[in-house]
C-alpha cells in the first residue's frame, strides 16, 4: 500500500487500534480516526492524526466519513455494552 494512501481507522483508541495507529503513522500514512466523542481523543490529533466524528450505530453520522478514504480498518466492538452486544456488533458492521 503506498504511503500516500488515506486510511480511515476505527477503534484507534483501543488496545489494538492504538498500536496500529502508531505503526501507520511511523510508515507515513495519512490517517483519519473515527471517534464518537471528540474531547477524549486529543492525543490522536497531537500525534498528527485527523479526527472525524462517526458512530457505527448511527448511519446518518457516517455519510461523510468515507470521503477521500482509500482504505478503512474496522476495529470496533460492543463488548462493553450492557446487553445485546452481538446484535449491536452486527448492526454496526
Domain with residue 66: its CATH number is: 3.40.50.720
Domain span holding position 47: 6-92
pLDDT in tens, 22-79: 899 888 898 998 887 766 666 666 656 688 889 888 999 999 999 999 999 998 876 6
- Examine residue 41 and state whether it is found in any structural domain, yes or no: yes
Which is it for the CA torsion 34, 39, 16, 50, positive or negative?
positive
User: From CA 76, how far away is CA 93, in angstroms rounded?
Assistant: 8
pLDDT for residue 69: 94
The pLDDT of residue 73: 94
- The pLDDT assigned to 52 comes to 85
Residue 69 included in any domain: yes
Answer whether residue 52 is part of any domain.
yes
Domain assignment present for 1: no
CA-angle at 59, arms to 58 and 61, nearest 5°:
70
Residue 32 φ/ψ, nearest 5 degrees: -110, 130
This prediction has a pTM of: 0.79
DSSP 7: E
Interstrand relation of 30-35 and 6-10 (parallel, antiparallel or unpaired): parallel
Give me the number of domains the chain comprises. Answer: 1
Amino acid at each position: 500500500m503506498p504511503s500516500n494512501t488515506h486510511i480511515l481507522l476505527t477503534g484507534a483508541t483501543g488496545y489494538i487500534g492504538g498500536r496500529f495507529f502508531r505503526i501507520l503513522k511511523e510508515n507515513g500514512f495519512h490517517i483519519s480516526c473515527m471517534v464518537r466523542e471528540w474531547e477524549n481523543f486529543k492525543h490522536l490529533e497531537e500525534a498528527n492524526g485527523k479526527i472525524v466524528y462517526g458512530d457505527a450505530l448511527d448511519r446518518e453520522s457516517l455519510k461523510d466519513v468515507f470521503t477521500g478514504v482509500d482504505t478503512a480498518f474496522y476495529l470496533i466492538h460492543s463488548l462493553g455494552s450492557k446487553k445485546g452486544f452481538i446484535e449491536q456488533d452486527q448492526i454496526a458492521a
